[in-house]
Chains A and B, each alone.
Chain A
Amino acid sequence: MKVEGKRRIWKDYQKEIADDRYFYVRSCVRQNFFPASEKMFFRILKEELGKDIFENAAHTTCSGIGYHSDVVPFETTMTMVARQFALMTESGYQNFTTSCITSFGLYTEILETWHHFPEVEARVRENLKKATGREFDKPSNLSHASDVIYKFRKEIGEKARYRLVNKQTGQPLRCVEHIGCHYSRMFPGKGVGGAEYPYVLAGMIEEWGGEVIDYPERRHCCGFGFRQYLIQANRGYSLSCSKKKFDSMAPYKPDLILTNCPGCPMFLDRWQYTLSEMEGTTYGENGQGIPVLTYEELAGLVLGYDPWDLGLQVHQVPAEPLLDKMGIPYDSNRKFLNRDGQSMGRPKAPSFLKFY
């Protein structure tokens, strides 16, 4: 493997990312499964970097999951997106930042479509007006939240209290990055590093001292596949996809999986559990699994935030082994306490997967 080769490609795919005044829209999946990550994104931008990031309470889903599971027509989704743009415009912002990769992909696709088919854009504007009376400007800059963190990876690196280095051995941690399919597959130019060797997460890992591991099934989808997960009868597809990735990365003994998509971390986390219950197979050393993190969680960790404030307790695959490697202190007793420090009980321990 020649990293120079990758660097050359990374150079070719450097996208424009706004450096302030972000209009932020939330992700359906992340809110449910990684609420603390979205919280952390705000804290990092506001408190650590002193940026202006705004959320309009009236904003909603882009209906992307509905669209990609085909119950919501393209026309409708485009108008939903137009409405988000309208809210941005009304709030006086131009830089649009999404928390969700599906959304990001969809926004990109829609903007492209409008670019190639102006008549479609006109129709959407008309529909939006008809339905809501709103009008909109297209954003001058569209980025995914991970782009923003990538943009400020150096600043974060400078403030970092911990690095992606094994405290005992001093070796950089072996990190596997998993990019959401809709980040750059359709429009390689719209993602940092392009479609084949995306740099958005790799950049963070390198910057924060880790080692990026390439493995054969790196590009493989986690298996969400929308309808393929939403319907129980189809979940075998979803599961099999993730299994394929695990089997492929296992020989490289990764210390963690870093993701930038809302769904992927949830699936890569839950499917490890499911597989262990289904076949008794666990990945990672002595049945502890391979920890899966969102980029905000990782940023939070290196910046020294409390793991439980980052929501690592709601991961099914325990993060503790990683914290130990990084030498990050944590209080196991506080793991399952509520805001006021009262116990919320404990989840049941899985049959095979380690649980702390």
Chain B
Amino acid sequence: MGNRWVAPKRLLFSNSIKMDPQVIIIGAGIAGLTAAGALAEKGHHVLILEKEAQPGGHVAQWDRLFPSRRPGSEVLDHIRKIMDGRVEIKPGIRINGIIAHDQDFTVLTEEGTSYTGQALLIASGFRLFQAERKEEYGYGIYDNVITSAEVETVFKQGKKLLTSKGTLPQRVALIHCVGSRDEKVGNLYCSKVCCVTGVKQAIEIKEQLPQCEVFSFYMDMRMYDRHFEELYFEAQKQWGVQFIRGRLSECSEAPDQSLIIKTEDTLTGRPLRMIVDLVILLVGFVPEPETGKLVEMLGLSTGEDGFILPSDEHYNDNLTTVPGVFLAGAVKGPATISNTIADARAAALQIDSWLKTKP
């Protein structure tokens, strides 16, 4: 059995924490944490460097997950359980250099400390699109234009979704494809998760405010994954969420701070104007700028979308052109949580076998 010869290794590490880690993971989001857990289980010594003060990444900010609407914390706790005690996490780290030796990598931080590992896993994830950039939607200008992320925060705090005046919204519009599929902001790709997030939030809003009319403005409903279409159906059948095919063109504020949205009702081919109390922008994924630095330091390549390219998109999805540098999760582009977890496990497996075959 594998364990027989893995055992001494683990022994070796357990009594020499001081020693350099085998694997350095950059980013303590679900990708980083999952990979860390998987590697630790295989007996590798793992160190995670995280720029935020707290691990958990975006999932930590999210209330409930699609399609099942189970709390995000459940998933996070599960992942933590696997790695707790076996993995060391260094929060608040700013990386300002990586030196690749022939056998290992040294990561230099702004604090001047340095960490060396034989393998490097980039799991630094993504950033949410900054809605201000979609100027005509008036985010940051009109008080009642908010993002899907803010909605999650409200739900996570167990609060009610209210207008800027503190009243219950009578009508809410969810806007799809904000910062995605839009050359005006330089993102031609689809962010994959917004459609279903929109449907999920629409349902959650109806749960919370049954009297509230919820409209969803979409171009295509991309319900590509398991149970997504069913969720969409539920939103229509059970919650009477109304879906209007047409992309939001512009938003303006009425004297009473409600919003006048302009879109085409493409199924009638006519402009449509509607007054809503709250506009929710379903913001997409953009590459994490910090990751850009890593890409330069390591001489990796990115696609037109700015996300890192693996050495082969089909069969070497977790490898890069640089031996010893691996990828997991949304650094490679928009991904769901379940995809990310699976991807991180795959990365761990790749790293494990790489470390073993290493001379």
The interface of chain A, by Cβ under 8 A from chain B, is 1-2, 4-6, 8-9, 194-197, 214-219, 251-252
Contacts and interface: CB of A to CB of B under 8 A. Distances in A.
A9 B143 contact: no
Interface stretch (B120-128, B211-219, B249-257, B318-326): B249-257
Nearest to A252: B255
- CB-based closest 3 A-B pairs: A5-B141, A5-B140, A196-B135
A9 B132 contact: yes
Interface of B: 132, 135-136, 138-143, 250, 252-255, 257, 260
Contacts of A4: 140
Contacts of B254: 216
A197 B252 CA distance: 11
A6 B135 CA distance: 9
B200 to A, nearest CB: 28
Contacts of A197: 135, 141
A143 to B, nearest CB: 22
A195 B255 CA distance: 22
Nearest to B140: A5
Nearest to A4: B140
A1 B141 contact: yes
Is the contact region of chain B dominated by helix, strand, or loop, or is it mixed? loop
Contact of A5 (B132, B136, B250): B132
Contacts of A214: 252-253
Contacts of A5: 132, 138-141
Contacts of A6: 141
Nearest to A3: B141
Contacts of A216: 252-254, 260
Nearest to A9: B135
Contact of A1 (B132, B139, B143): B143
B253 A218 contact: no
B141 to A, nearest CB: 4
Contacts of B250: 196, 219
A9 B252 CA distance: 16
Nearest to B254: A216
Nearest to A251: B255
Contact of A2 (B141, B252, B255, B260): B141
Of the listed residues B135, B138, B142, the one surrounded by the most CB atoms of chain A closer than 10 A to its CB is: B135
25 contacts: A1-B141, A1-B143, A1-B257, A2-B141, A2-B142, A2-B143, A4-B140, A5-B138, A5-B139, A5-B140, A8-B140, A194-B135, A195-B135, A196-B135, A196-B250, A197-B135, A197-B141, A214-B252, A215-B252, A216-B252, A216-B260, A219-B250, A219-B252, A251-B255, A252-B255
A252 B252 CA distance: 14
A49 B143 CA distance: 41
Contacts of A196: 135-136, 250
B163 to A, nearest CB: 14
Nearest to A218: B252
Contacts of B138: 5
A5 B136 CA distance: 12
A9 B141 CA distance: 10
B271 to A, nearest CB: 11
A22 B143 CA distance: 42
Contacts of A9: 132, 135, 141
Nearest to B251: A216
Given A1-B142, A196-B136, 11 more contacts: A2-B143, A4-B140, A5-B138, A6-B141, A9-B132, A9-B141, A216-B253, A216-B260, A217-B252, A218-B252, A219-B250
Contacts of A218: 252
A251 B139 CA distance: 24
A6 to B, nearest CB: 6
Contacts of A217: 252
A341 B142 CA distance: 52
A48 B339 CA distance: 66
A9 B140 CA distance: 10
Nearest to B135: A196
Nearest to B259: A216
Contacts of A8: 132, 140
Contacts of A252: 255
B150 to A, nearest CB: 15
Nearest to B262: A216
A41 to B, nearest CB: 30
